[in-house]
Structure 1
Amino acid sequence: MASLQILATPTGIVTVRAQPWRLWMRFLMRTHLRDYTPGKQHHEKRRHRKYEAKSMFSLTIGRIHWKIHESSNPLENHILMPHSLFNEVPEDKLKHIIDAQQLHTAYRAAFQEAKRYQGRLNWESANGTEYLVSTRYDYGVRQRKSLGPRSDHTEEILRFHTERSAACRKLLEALTAKLEKQVKINRALRLGNVPPPVTKVLAQIENAGLARKIMTIGTNAMYAYACAASVTFADSIMATQDLDLLWDSRSKLRIASPDPKGLLGVIQRGDPSFMKIEGKPFTLVNNEGYQVDLIKRDEGYQHSEPGQIWANEEDFWAVKVHNMDWLLSAPRFEQIVISTNGGMATMTTVDPRAFGLFKVWLSEQKTRDAAKRRRDSAQATAIFRLIEEWLPQLSFEDIKTIPERIRVRARDI
């Protein structure tokens, strides 16, 4: 494989030597080099720094990815074009984003606490004795439980429940009002870049108690990684019109459907325009053309797992995809994301290291569309650079669910 040698002088002039062409060229750097600090002393010493890349088609210096354009004219084969993999979020926006995320976290905590006390406690008589009975609906399942005969202890339980329930409702109402205001601020300041259908769907999945069973994969997962690192990826690798949801079907779901239409009804609570597509039982589409695909692992010849989250004729199905076990067994990654219309949601996805490695595998599948393979490769490169630059605490040695041959291949990227 050919190599590149980059000799950088303190004046910013870079000399490129490319084999096998054995030609030299000079061009003015448009970005800083890592570990380079300009100054008079450096100009006097005329120090050189050498950078090497294993590929003759691309290399990365700092946060800039340089691409070589190959041409039939040997003099044009050395032109390097800068391609930014990601850009940092401006400092003036970071504070507002952090405030918005903290408010959303407080709101979700209040929402869950209010749900704990949404049940009703009342006295019921049986055989001449009064009993304190708790009645509540937990994700669509009606639950009744006797807390014991009337006594000082059960009366104290009723008093505490009544006071706590009122306090939780009051707190939730206050945070809901603040959250509605924050959504307008998010939109006005353009704090988010996630497509609105994504946050609408994810918010309803979380409300239904499915956040631990359904996670986001595919291109949209990169919004979570970018938000965690306070950067934005280039639009060229982020454009998508579908949301891929991976359902963990390995264990039985113990939550009853909160909607008569199943998962379809849950999603329609966020966007009523979502509907099934004729001939595509695995896909939903809304009136803007945005799609939601439900995916599950291929359990092989056993065929012991259900094809729907809840058995329902009106609901849509999950399509089996090869090697989803790699992602299901990888660590989870959670991040609050903000959409372009200001809405927020908690995105549960796969660890960015596993995501990047899986994209490497996808990019090498000969049966996959060539354009998608190139995009898979670009996304893998972007994720690896992001981890190296902004998430260095994540070690690839901890990702054992992806085969070693793919992890070895990824080291060359």
Structure 2
Amino acid sequence: MNYLPLSDNAARQVIDSMTIFTEFQRVKVQAQSYAGSMYWKQEGGHEYLVKTRPRRRTQERLGARSEQTECIFSEYTARKQAIESRLKLLHEALIEAQRMNKALKTGRTPNLVVTLLGVLEDAGLTKHFTVVGTHALYAYETAAGVRLVPGALATQDVDLLWDARKRVQFMTDLAELDASMLSILQRADPTFERKEGQYETAINARGFEVDFLRRQPVDDDPHPFCFSADEGDLWPVQAVRASVLTSAPRFEHLVISATGRMVVMRTIAPASFVEFKRWLAEKAPQREETKRRRDRLQADIVQELLDQKLLFPR
């Protein structure tokens, strides 16, 4: 048996946590549109309604004081207060859910991976990256309500596939942050630095690696490509058959760390995972036999979850 079902209590807690986390994320997005403030500004003998946008560090004048702008101000203030109040209550519920997750041992996704994905989410960069490789199994086992055998999961690196098809939007999003990709990773762990001789890899003081992959150049894909103008930043490396992963259907699911913290992992659909792992096990050139055996095991496990209808192809 390559997996065991979660206990009933743990399974119920996962469902409850998902509900709270999903609602918290929904309201958090709403709150972002009300970030900043709205106030009256005296200028030249007139009052104007001004809206500040902290992320872009801009101010927008909405018009002179009038019945219309007073209505805008009142509606904005009331809505902002209501959303912030709801978000505060949901945050309290989220903290309690995390405490129960830890107590009932509902999750075991590495803490650093959960932190990394949370940092990418907060930076607005999640849509540009897909978790591929072994760590996808954490999303699959959570969705299936099972625990996979430890031998299928052990790894000291996480692979993030960068979507070169959206490079223009990516560059715009990163420029707005005024940051490099390496500095983004350092928000999760300050000890991350670029690995010597492997510009696609960031490694921390405990030897955990984050590898950035990309498809082989297609059409006008830039090559080579650095994530930012910072010469010390990371350069995603071309990976064999990464184009297959780039175009594969996506699978998103909540994952939970051993400390109870939660985040949504974006990976490839289970059927695509099985297909790719079979290729690695049987056809990938110059792949170590120990890795081929683990590839086969991982493919077999996910296929079994699909056959048992605990997971679905897409």
Do the two structures share a fold, i.e. TM-score over 0.5? yes
> Residues 88-145 of structure 1: CA distance to partner in whole angstroms, max 9, x if unpaired?
112121111111222211221222111110122233467765443322134xx33443
Map of 2:286 onto structure 1 = 367
Residues of 2 paired with 1:342 and 1:393: CA distance?
26
Residue correspondence of structure 1 range 85-124 to structure 2 within 5 A: 85-124=2-41
Of 114, 119, 130, 1:215 maps to 130
Q: Tell me, yes or no, if structure 1 residue 384 matches structure 2 residue 291.
A: no
Map of 1:196 onto structure 2 = 111
The 8 Å contact of residues 208 and 258 in structure 1, kept in 2 or not, is answered as no
Map of 2:184 onto structure 1 = 266
Q: Tell me, yes or no, if structure 1 residue 315 matches structure 2 residue 230.
A: no
Map of 1:288 onto structure 2 = 206
**Deviation, structure 1 residue 180:** 2.5
Residues of 2 paired with 1:324 and 1:116: CA distance?
35
The 8 Å contact of residues 214 and 245 in structure 1, kept in 2 or not, is answered as yes
> Residues 49-76 of structure 1: CA distance to partner in whole angstroms, max 9, x if unpaired?
xxxxxxxxxxxxxxxxxxxxxxxxxxxx
Of 174, 183, 186, 2:89 maps to 174
Of 64, 68, 75, 1:153 maps to 68
The 8 Å contact of residues 259 and 265 in structure 1, kept in 2 or not, is answered as no
> Residues 165-211 of structure 1: CA distance to partner in whole angstroms, max 9, x if unpaired?
22222222332233223322222221111111110000111111112
Q: Which structure has the bigger radius of gyration?
A: 1
Map of 2:196 onto structure 1 = 278
SS of 1:250's equivalent in the other structure is: helix
Residues of 1 paired with 2:262 and 2:311: CA distance?
27
Q: Structure 2 counterpart of 1:376, which letter?
A: D
The 8 Å contact of residues 120 and 184 in structure 2, kept in 1 or not, is answered as yes
Map of 2:150 onto structure 1 = 235
Residues of 1 paired with 2:175 and 2:14: CA distance?
34
Residues of 2 paired with 1:297 and 1:257: CA distance?
22
Higher alpha-carbon deviation: 163-172 or 250-259: 250-259
Percent identity of the aligned residues?
A: 35
Structure 1: which 5+ residue stretches go unaligned? Answer: 1-83, 396-413
Q: Structure 2 counterpart of 1:169, which letter?
A: E
369 and 182 in structure 1: CA distance in 2 versus 1, 3 angstrom threshold: same
The 8 Å contact of residues 258 and 266 in structure 1, kept in 2 or not, is answered as no
Residues of 1 paired with 2:141 and 2:62: CA distance?
48
Residues of 2 paired with 1:168 and 1:225: CA distance?
33
**Aligned pairs, number:** 310
**Deviation, structure 1 residue 362:** 1.3
> Residues 265-311 of structure 1: CA distance to partner in whole angstroms, max 9, x if unpaired?
22222222322222222112223322111111111585526723333
**Deviation, structure 1 residue 313:** 3.0
The 8 Å contact of residues 11 and 145 in structure 2, kept in 1 or not, is answered as yes
Structure 2: which 5+ residue stretches go unaligned? Answer: none
Q: TM-score, structure 2 length as denominator?
A: 0.90
Higher alpha-carbon deviation: 187-196 or 200-209: 187-196
Residues of 2 paired with 1:150 and 1:287: CA distance?
56
**Deviation, structure 1 residue 316:** 2.0
Map of 1:298 onto structure 2 = 216
99 and 392 in structure 1: CA distance in 2 versus 1, 3 angstrom threshold: closer
Residues of 2 paired with 1:142 and 1:160: CA distance?
23
SS of 2:305's equivalent in the other structure is: helix
Larger relative strand fraction: 1
Larger relative helix fraction: 2
Q: What's the RMSD between the two structures over aligned residues?
A: 2.3
